[in-house]
Amino acid sequence: MPLSLHTIDAFTDKPFAGNPAGVCVLEHALPDELMQQIAAEMNFSETAFLVPEKDGYRLRWFTPTTEVNLCGHATLASAHLLFQLGRLPPNAIARFHTRSGLLTARRVGDNIELDFPASRVSPAVFPPSTIPLLGTTPVWYSTNEYWQLAELDSEQTVRNLSPDIRSLNSLGLGHLIVTASAATPGLDIVSRVFVPAVGIDEDPVTGAAHCALAPYWSAKLGKTTLSAYQASRRGGYLEIENCGERVLLRGQAITVMDIHLRN
């Protein structure tokens, strides 16, 4: 039986921007190997698979090479699709059971709001040997068990950066966020995200990275709610809110393609 798979651009209100995700809503779980093969075939940074479970859906995310524990844009895309297909009424709360616990999504005006766990970073020493590979010296560097976060001196430096991504990965910087306070009016922060450790050289827009950026910049700027732009080639906008142990991510999504996979 063919499987319906939808291509949805997340953290944007127009097609061919933001971060594309594949979303597949299933009635029964597929074998892990098949889901990984589908994700590799789609070749997006993430493909999401949903199966009804309890009061919501079991949600899993696959890059072209591996399954991951948390993904923001494919969760936004999944919620968008459930509302679009009428599987959830407009005022419902989408409930996703994931490797990172229960995640929820709801419609707030034109946006969908995701409720995610915060991911706090702690100060660390940036390895001096990697500065030539990055192409600049961070003004501040922090890490946690997953992310490496490098604050740079300006928005323009973030936008112009051209790091040696594969070499950085080999030296332990395979989940790298670069960020700066924004000079562009209407924005608070900008970022770019390089995740070669999971098969993604540069991710277009990364909700999970903003779970680290929200508490980091909230403390620095003295603001709870921030307007963020991820300055990849496609680019995407988010409103992020630091709520202590949780982070709220708000953005839009648009369906650009519906296809059938024959297995």
Question: pLDDT at position 261, please?
Answer: 81
The residues near 80 (Cβ < 8 Å, ≥ 6 apart) are 8, 10, 112, 253, 254, 255
**Cβ(158)–Cβ(149) under 8 Å?**
no
* Identified catalytic residue from 33, 46, 145, 239: 46
Q: What is the pLDDT of residues 239-263, one digit of tens each?
A: 999 999 999 999 999 999 999 887 6
Q: Is the pLDDT of residue 1 over 70?
A: no
- Alpha carbon of 3 to those of 24, 27, 37, 254: distances in Å? 8, 10, 13, 20
Span 173-196, average pLDDT: 98
pTM (predicted TM-score) = 0.95
Tokens of 11: 């953290």
Question: How many CA atoms lie within 13 Å of 74's alpha carbon, on the beta-carbon side?
Answer: 27
List domains and CATH numbers for the chain: 3-115+251-261 (3.10.310.10), 122-244 (3.10.310.10)
Question: pLDDT at position 157, please?
Answer: 98
Q: Which amino acid is at 202?
A: E
Span 227-231, average pLDDT: 98
Nearest to residue 180, comparing CAs of 144, 152, 211, 209? 152
Tokens 């001196």: give the residue: 153
Q: Percentage of the chain surpassing pLDDT 90?
A: 97
For the chain, give the mean pLDDT. 96
**Cβ(181)–Cβ(226) under 8 Å?**
no
C-alpha–C-alpha distance, residues 141 and 29, integer Å: 41
Question: pLDDT at position 263, please?
Answer: 61
Question: pLDDT at position 262, please?
Answer: 76
At 186, is the secondary structure helix, strand, or coil? coil
Question: pLDDT at position 24, please?
Answer: 97
Question: pLDDT at position 3, please?
Answer: 87
- Is 46 known to be catalytic? yes
